[in-house]
Amino acid sequence: MQKKLIVSPGPHLHNHAVSTQRIMLDVVIALLPTAAAAVWFFGGSALMLMIVAVISAIAAEYVYQKLTHQPVTVSDMSSVVTGLLLAFNLPANAPWWLAAVGSFLAIILIKQLFGGIGQNFMNPALAARAILMLSWTGLMAANVLPHAGQWVAPLAADAVSVATPLTHGAEGFTLWQLFSGDVPGMIGETSKLALLLGGVYLLIRKVIDWRIPVSFLGTVAIAYFIQTGTLYSVESGAHNVLYQLLSGGLIIGAFFMATDYVTSPITGIGKLIMGVGCGLFLFVIREFSSYPEGCSFAILFLNVLTPLIDRFTTKKPFGFEKPTAPAKEAKA
Amino acid sequence: MSLYTRFPGGIHPHEGVNGKSATSVLPITETLPPSRVSIPMQQHIGAPAKPLVQKGDHVKMGMKIGEPAGFVSSAIHSSVSGTVVDVAPCVLASGLQADCVIIDNDFKDEWVELHPFENPEALDAAALSALARDMGLVGLGGATFPYSVKLMPPKVKIDTLIVNGAECEPYLSADHQLMLIKAKEIIEGTRRMQKAMGIEKVFIGIEKNKPDAIALMTKLCEDDPTFTVVALPVVYPQGGEKQLVYAITKRRVRTGGLPLEKGVLVVNVGSCYALYRAIYEGMPLIDRVVTVGGSVTKPANYLVRIGTPVQFLLDASQGLLPQARMMIYGGPMMGMAINRTDIPVTKGCSGITVLEKALMNSPETACIRCGRCVDVCPMYLCPSDIDKAMRKGWYDEAEKLGAMNCLECGACSWSCPAKRALTQSCRTCKKVIGDKQRAQRQQKAEAK
Amino acid sequence: MKQKKSIGTVFKNGIFAENPTFRLVLGMCPTLAVSTAVFQGLGMGLATTFVLVFSNFVIALLRNIIPDKVRIPAFIVVIATFVTIVDLMLKAFIPSLSESLGIFIPLIVVNCIIFARAESFASKNSVLLSITDGLGMGLGFTLGISLLSACRELLGNGTLLGIQVMPESFQPMAIALRPPGGFIMLGILLIIINAAGKAIAKRKVMKAKEAEL
Q: ipTM score of the complex?
A: 0.86
Contacts of A13 in chain B (CB under 8 A): 13-15, 170, 332-333, 355, 359, 410, 414
CB A73, CB A65: distance < 8 Å: yes
pLDDT tens readout for residues B391-432: 999 999 999 999 999 999 999 999 999 999 999 999 999 999
Give pLDDT, residue A325. 57
Question: How crowded is residue A331: how many other Cβ atoms within 10 Å of its Cβ?
Answer: 7
How many degrees, rounded to 5, is the angle at CA A292 between CA A287 and CA A298? 75
- Helices B211-220 and B174-197, interaxial angle, to 10°? 30
Report CB contact under 8 Å: A134, C176. Answer: no
Give pLDDT, residue A327. 45
pLDDT tens readout for residues C107-149: 999 888 999 989 888 888 889 999 999 999 999 999 999 999 9
Picking from B15, B382, B410, the nearest residue to A11 by CB comes out as B410
Question: What's the rounded Cα separation, in Å, for the pair B243 and B139?
Answer: 17
Give pLDDT, residue C18. 86
Neighbours of chain B (3+ CB pairs under 8 A): A
Give pLDDT, residue B412. 94
Give pLDDT, residue C9. 86
Q: How far is A55 from chain C (nearest CA, A)?
A: 22
How far apart, in Å, are the Cα atoms of B82 and each of B45, B66, B286, B308, C179?
A: 28, 16, 14, 14, 87
Picking from B11, B369, B423, the nearest residue to A10 by CB comes out as B423
If DSSP codes are grouped into helix, strand and coil, which group holds residue A266?
A: coil
Question: What's the rounded Cα separation, in Å, for the pair A46 and B68?
Answer: 78
pLDDT tens readout for residues A315-324: 888 888 877 6
Give pLDDT, residue A167. 73
Tell me which of A73-77, B224-228, B356-360 is least confident: B356-360
Contacts of A319 in chain B (CB under 8 A): 242, 252-255, 257, 379, 405
Pairing of strands B160-165, B264-268: parallel
Give pLDDT, residue C137. 92
Question: How crowded is residue B393: how many other Cβ atoms within 10 Å of its Cβ?
Answer: 10
**Chain C residues with CB-CB distance to A under 8 A?**
171, 173-176, 178, 180-181, 184, 191
- Helices A211-228 and A268-288, interaxial angle, to 10°? 40
Task: Kindly write down the DSSP assignment for every residue of A2-46, as one continuous string.
Answer: PPPPP--PSP----TT--HHHHHHHHHHHHHHHHHHHHHHHHHHH
Q: How far is CA C53 from the centre of its chain?
A: 12
Tell me which of A47-51, A199-203, B29-33 is least confident: B29-33
Question: What's the rounded Cα separation, in Å, for the pair B173 and B190?
Answer: 21
Q: Is residue A158 pLDDT above 70, yes or no?
A: no
Contacts of A109 in chain C (CB under 8 A): 184
Q: Is residue B330 pLDDT above 50, yes or no?
A: yes
Close Cβ partners of B409 (under 8 Å, ≥ 6 residues apart):
A11, B236, B237, B240, B333, B334, B378, B423
Give the mean pLDDT of chain C.
Answer: 90
| A234 contact B CB<8A | no
What secondary structure, in 3-state letters, does chain B show? Answer: CCCCCCCCCCECCCCCCCCHHHHCCCCEEECCCCCEEEEECCCCCCCCCEECCCCCCEECECCEEEECCCCCCCCEECCCCEEEEEEEEEECCCCCEEEEEEEEECCCCCECCCCCCCCHHHCCHHHHHHHHHHHCCECCCCCCCEHHHHCCCCCCCCCEEEEEECCCCCCCCHHHHHHHHHHHHHHHHHHHHHHHHCCCEEEEEEECCCHHHHHHHHHHCCCCCCEEEEEECCCECCCCHHHHHHHHHCCCCCCCCCHHHHCEEEEEHHHHHHHHHHHHHCCCCCEEEEEEEECECCCEEEEEECCCEHHHHHHHCCCECCCEEEEEECCCCCCEEECCCCCECCCCCCEEEEEEHHHCCCCCCCCCCCCHHHHHCCCCCCHHHHHHHHHHCCHHHHHHCCHHHCCCCCHHHHHCCCCCCHHHHHHHHHHHHHHHHHHHHHHHHHHC
pLDDT greater at residue C44 or residue B32: C44
Contacts of A121 in chain B (CB under 8 A): none
Q: How far is B333 from chain A (nearest CA, A)?
A: 4
| A10 contact B CB<8A | yes
Q: How far is C157 from chain A (nearest CA, A)?
A: 11
If DSSP codes are grouped into helix, strand and coil, which group holds residue C164?
A: strand
Q: How many separate helices (H) and strands (E) can be counted in chain A?
A: 13, 0
Question: Number of A:B CB contacts under 8 A?
Answer: 161
Is chain B touching chain A, with at least 3 CB–CB pairs below 8 Å? yes
Give pLDDT, residue C3. 53
Q: How far is B230 from chain A (nearest CA, A)?
A: 22
Tell me which of A1-5, A263-267, B249-253, B280-284 is least confident: A1-5
Q: Is residue B310 pLDDT above 90, yes or no?
A: yes
- pTM (2 decimals)? 0.86
Is chain C touching chain B, with at least 3 CB–CB pairs below 8 Å? no
Chain A residue at shortest CA distance from B338: A7
pLDDT tens readout for residues B352-399: 999 988 777 788 899 999 999 999 999 999 999 999 999 999 999 999
Report CB contact under 8 Å: B328, A262. Answer: no
Q: Which pLDDT band, with edges at 50, 70 and 90, does C17 fall under?
A: confident
Give pLDDT, residue A326. 53
Contacts of A18 in chain B (CB under 8 A): 372, 415, 417
Give pLDDT, residue A169. 60
Neighbours of chain C (3+ CB pairs under 8 A): A
Contacts of A136 in chain C (CB under 8 A): 171, 173-174
Give the mean pLDDT of chain A.
Answer: 87
pLDDT tens readout for residues B25-77: 888 888 888 999 999 999 998 899 999 998 999 999 999 999 999 889 999 99
How far apart, in Å, are the Cα atoms of A320 and each of A249, A317, B198, B401?
A: 42, 5, 29, 12
Contacts of C174 in chain A (CB under 8 A): 134-137
pLDDT greater at residue A129 or residue B17: A129
Residue B151, Ramachandran bin (φ over 0: left; ψ between -120 and 50: alpha; else beta): alpha
Q: Is residue C184 pLDDT above 70, yes or no?
A: yes
Kindly state the average pLDDT of the residues B338-344.
Answer: 91
User: How many CA atoms are closer than 13 Å to the CA of B19, on its beta-carbon side?
Assistant: 14
Report CB contact under 8 Å: A18, B252. Answer: no
How close are the terminal C-alpha atoms of chain A, in Å?
A: 60
Q: Is residue A213 pLDDT above 80, yes or no?
A: yes
How close are the terminal C-alpha atoms of chain B, in Å?
A: 55
Cis amide leading into C106 (omega within 30)? no
Q: Is residue B196 pLDDT above 70, yes or no?
A: yes
pLDDT greater at residue B3 or residue C104: C104
pLDDT greater at residue C80 or residue A148: C80
Question: What's the rounded Cα separation, in Å, for the pair C99 and B45?
Answer: 81
Q: Which pLDDT band, with edges at 50, 70 and 90, does B1 fall under?
A: very low
Is chain A touching chain C, with at least 3 CB–CB pairs below 8 Å? yes
Report CB contact under 8 Å: A317, B379. Answer: yes
pLDDT tens readout for residues A90-101: 998 889 999 999
How far apart, in Å, are the Cα atoms of B61 and each of A88, B56, B110, B272?
A: 77, 16, 6, 21
Picking from A7, A266, A316, the nearest residue to B380 by CB comes out as A316
**Quick one: CA dihedral A129, A134, A135, A137, positive or negative?**
positive
pLDDT tens readout for residues B79-130: 999 999 999 999 998 888 889 999 999 998 889 988 888 888 888 888 999 9
